[in-house]
Structure 1
């Protein structure tokens, strides 16, 4: 099936869904869906890269932590993510992921909606079902 994502904007929230063969790819697809809710990044060329390591007590907690960082970059630092990569760390640091957000100033992209000022999520599901990783969550706007 490969990988992909979609987001459905509603009056007060957005439903984000993503799927991929692997956990890290599904995390990246979820980030792309979130970004596309509020901006058209087009061919924007990143001029900065943020690198951070996250640990989640569960896959759902990890997903929320990654999305929280993306929103923090938008709101606190004025940086829009235009590319993302997620890699699981080595065996000795199992459960941790290294996230790289390639970003541009928010002024460099066309804003299509207001980004969530804070991450308020409902109905988070993230896991492997029948060999395919799937993420689904509802974000308040």
Structure 2
């Protein structure tokens, strides 16, 4: 199984890439990439599980909706996703902790940009690329 994520150079914003063997694992990696762009979650135990409903007409729209939900949870409910699981029908479960339990390490993202958004299968691996407005 191969999965991971990284930040890549991008003018004035943050670009994130994630990859995994399945669509669902790649979505979860994208969530981790987004959260790690602004919070150190390396030593935070998973908290409460929050099921969220997201929809999208395409894989790219689904990716954007999941990541926007992560930002919404921080802004509205003061909680940060430290882990994510995505079911085959895009049932998303975020493991959340209070925002005060994580150390902020970067600028808080404002939104997920729709330009340069890519999410799909390349060979046997799913890949995501997203630009995050900060």
Q: TM-score range by the shorter chain?
A: over 0.9
Question: Once superposed, which parts of structure 1, at least 4 consecutive aligned residues long, lie more than 4 Å away?
Answer: none
Contact 2:48 2:96 in 1 (8 A): yes
What TM-score results when the alignment is normalised by the length of structure 2? 0.92
**Structure 1: gaps (5+ residues):** 90-96
1:57 equivalent in structure 2: 57
Shift of the alpha carbon at 1:10? 5.3
1:74 match: secondary structure: helix
Greater C-alpha radius of gyration: 1
Residue from 99, 105, 111 that aligns with 1:106:
99
Shift of the alpha carbon at 1:76? 1.3
Q: What is the Cα-based RMSD across aligned positions, in Å?
A: 1.5
**Structure 2: gaps (5+ residues):** none
Contact 2:112 2:131 in 1 (8 A): no
Distance 1:11 1:76 in 2: 28
What TM-score results when the alignment is normalised by the length of structure 1? 0.88
Aligned residues: 134
Which range moves more in the overlay, 105-114 or 59-68? 105-114
2:2 equivalent in structure 1: 2
